[in-house]
Each structure stands twice: as C-alpha cells, then as structure tokens.
Amino acid sequence: MLMKRLTFWILLAGTPAFLCGQVYLNNSSFEGAPKDATVPAGWFPCELGTTPDIMPGPWGVYQEASEGDTYVGLITREDGSWESIGQRLPQTLQPGECYTFTLDLAHSNTYAGYNKPLGVRVWGGATKCEKGQLLLKTDLIKNTDWEEFEVQFVPKQGMRYILIEAFYKDGAFSYQGNILIDNISPIKKCTRAFLD
C-alpha cells in the first residue's frame, strides 16, 4: 500500500511538467515601481549603456500596460548605442525541439525626444548575453497600441539565455527611438511542421 501511495505521489508531482512542458520567464511582464534607468527585476543589462525604463510614468510615457501594471521601454541613441536586456532561463531549451512564445510590442510618440520607431531582435544563447541564434527580428514598430508577436524556433544548440534588444532598421542612421515591451508568454513546445 505504501509503495502504491508513493508511486501515485511521484506521478502526481510530475504531472504538471508532462501536461504543461512550459518554461516560465522571471518577471515576464516587467513588473516593478515605474522608474527611469532601472533594469526590471529578474533581468540584466546586456549592451553597454543599457538603462531601460519601467513604464508608465517616466519620460512622458503614460500608455497602459498590456498585462499587469508596468512594462519596459528600451531606446536607441544618436551616438549609435542601443539597449538590450537578458535573462537566464530556468531550464535549457533542447536542440532540435520546436518552441514558441509571444510578446507584446508597442511604440510611444511621447518618449522625451526618443520618439522614432524601432524594431526588436530576440536572441537565444548558451551563455549570458550571447547572440547565438536570432529568434525574432521585427520591422519598425509604429503602432502605439499593443500588438502581439509570435516567436517560433528550433535551437541549434542548448539554449539557456534569452536576450531582447532594440535596433534600428537595417541601413538606417543612428537616431533617438523607443520600443515598449510587455507580457512575454511562457515558452511552450510546438510541432516542427512550420519549419519543414
């Protein structure tokens, strides 16, 4: 009887992992007290000069969050610098497996002079801040309302880190722009049919 109970509890404890198979990011909706030049809890800066802002409030940006109370703003500057943030995943994404997640993106027209639209690149890597594999590259985000973007990818090697960076349109000169990011979903397994 004890063995049956033990087996039942072992199976029950493992059930969420089998049913969900999801990887949850830490602070995936960038919650925190609104403040300028502050990296959201659970994230770290990757590019030199990265001073993201937790919105709304700072720099004249008052748009509501798409999920929760706050979101993050990243900028680019006239000197050619840009901001990027990263996070260590709670488990390694395996090579050859298909994964998918979503994130919400928007643009602000009132970001204290950093008002031009930017795109976003999302990278995966095996080490901190590594740009090992490009997972998503958007066009310039001009919409001020939140838009959901889906990311689907198959790691070429074990992937333990994610990096999100603001970037200029290819070939564009350096300028002052912004991108707003919120509501990153859990990373789930998917089928590979879309890549075949």
Domain ranges of the chain: 23-195
The answer to whether the CB of 165 falls within 8 A of the CB of 81 is: no
Which two structure tokens, joined as six digits, stand for 50?
A: 């990265």
Nearest C-alpha neighbor of 103 from the set 178, 26, 186: 186
Rounded Cα–Cα distance for residues 188 and 21 (Å)? 6
Residue 8 CA: distances (Å) to CA of 5, 15, 132, 145, 175: 5, 10, 41, 48, 60
pLDDT in tens, the chain (196 residues): 544 444 344 444 443 443 458 999 999 999 999 999 999 999 999 999 999 999 999 999 999 999 999 999 999 999 999 999 999 999 999 999 999 999 999 999 999 999 999 999 999 999 999 999 999 999 999 999 999 999 999 999 999 999 999 998 776 778 999 999 999 999 999 986 554 4
Fold of 23-195: Jelly Rolls (2.60.120)
